[in-house]
Structure 1
Amino acid sequence: MSELQTNIKRINDKLQKLLRQYNQLLKDNERQSKLIKELQETKEKNTQTISELQQQAGILKASTGQMNAAEKKAFEKHINQYIKEIDKCIGLLGG
């Protein structure tokens, strides 16, 4: 085999190796992207659960009368926001 053919074969072998590595990296990237999406969805669900639990804790404190002044003010603020949203929805439904 001539030196030129040897060099061509060596280059071709390296290109094939690089192509295999590239394809593997594409698969890894796809797998990582899928994992990231799943983790983001889990985080979103956990954040929502935390928010719901915090609301429930606030309601329990309010019902047992164990809130300090700052907590009462924050709770009233949330209740007023909910009332405004409900009024807005009623207005949209009635209008």
Structure 2
Amino acid sequence: MSETQEHIERLRQKIGVLLKQWQLLRKENDRLQRENALLRGQEAAYQETIARLDHQVEAMKVGDPDSLSESDKKGLEKKINGYIREIDRCIALLTE
């Protein structure tokens, strides 16, 4: 083989490797975009839940804040904190 042919063959091999890498990266990008869309949907659902729960909490406070027992207040606070943690986790995943 002449030097030029060897050079062309090396270039062809390098292009093949780059093409395979590009295809893998494209597949990974597609997967990440699907995951991102799913997480955004979950985030929207969690935001709706938070808004609904905030509304319920406000309604309870306005209605009769003294009607809730301490255990009910703590249970409600625990539930809300759980939602907040879950939302924070989703947001962290979205920002990666």
- TM above 0.5, one fold? yes
Unaligned regions of 5+ residues in structure 2, if any?
Answer: 67-96
Counterpart of 1:47 in structure 2 is 47
Structure 2 length-normalised TM:
0.64
Structure 1 length-normalised TM:
0.64
Q: What does residue range 48-87 of structure 1 map to in structure 2 within 5 Å?
A: 48-64=48-64
Identity, % of aligned positions? 30
- Opposite residue 4 of structure 1, the aligned amino acid is T
- Give the Cα–Cα distance (whole angstroms) in 2 for the partners of residues 29 and 65 of structure 1: 50
Deviation string, structure 1 residues 56-93 (Cα, Å, up to 9, x no partner): 10111122056xxxxxxxxxxxxxxxxxxxxxxxxxxx
In the alignment of these two chains, the number of paired residues is: 66
- Give the Cα–Cα distance (whole angstroms) in 2 for the partners of residues 54 and 44 of structure 1: 15
- Opposite residue 23 of structure 1, the aligned amino acid is Q
Larger radius of gyration: 1
Unaligned regions of 5+ residues in structure 1, if any?
Answer: 67-95
Q: CA RMSD in A?
A: 1.3
- Give the Cα–Cα distance (whole angstroms) in 2 for the partners of residues 28 and 53 of structure 1: 37
